[in-house]
Amino acid sequence: MVAALHETLLDPSRLSAVVADAQELIDAEVSDKGGASGLAVKAGYGAVKKVGPSIVPDAVEGLLPGFLERLEPFWADFAANDGTGFGDYLAARGEEVADALLGVTDEKIEGSDKSAIKKVYSTMRPSAKKNVVEALPRLGALVQKHAG
């Protein structure tokens, strides 16, 4: 039986590396964005980082348990079917995985008292699903690296 993602990735001996890798993933995904929508994503991300340098790593650490809970069924299915690449597995189920992950951020933002974050999120949310789908190969590789 494969260990649950939260047991592995939230283990104190791994958590800081997982959070650092997740922040690198976010930075890379934002950097790769192009066109007008890419400029909006970059501006929004830059605004969030200006609010406080610890916001992104704190947000990653705060959201990670919810994300792992939502990824768990996908990970279990992937492991049971001897998949070779979790990133490819997630990408093949892009819409479903993106909806699951965005459910976590939607719930967190709803309960936030930070108006600047809510404002940025509300402007970025309409295109978020596409961005999450595009990030799934990297996300799957990150999860597999730390859980495999």
pLDDT average per 10 residues of sequence, the chain (148 residues): 82 95 93 84 84 87 94 94 88 96 91 85 84 95 92
Supply the pLDDT for residue 123: 80
Supply the pLDDT for residue 108: 85
Supply the pLDDT for residue 93: 96
Q: What is the pTM of this model?
A: 0.85
What is the four-CA torsion angle of 118, 121, 125, 129, rounded to 10 degrees? -130
**Where along the chain do its domains lie?**
5-147
Supply the pLDDT for residue 39: 85
Q: Report the C-alpha gap between 78 and 74 in whole angstroms.
A: 6
Listed residue (114, 24, 9) closest to 63, CA to CA: 9
Supply the pLDDT for residue 52: 84
CA R_g for the chain: 15
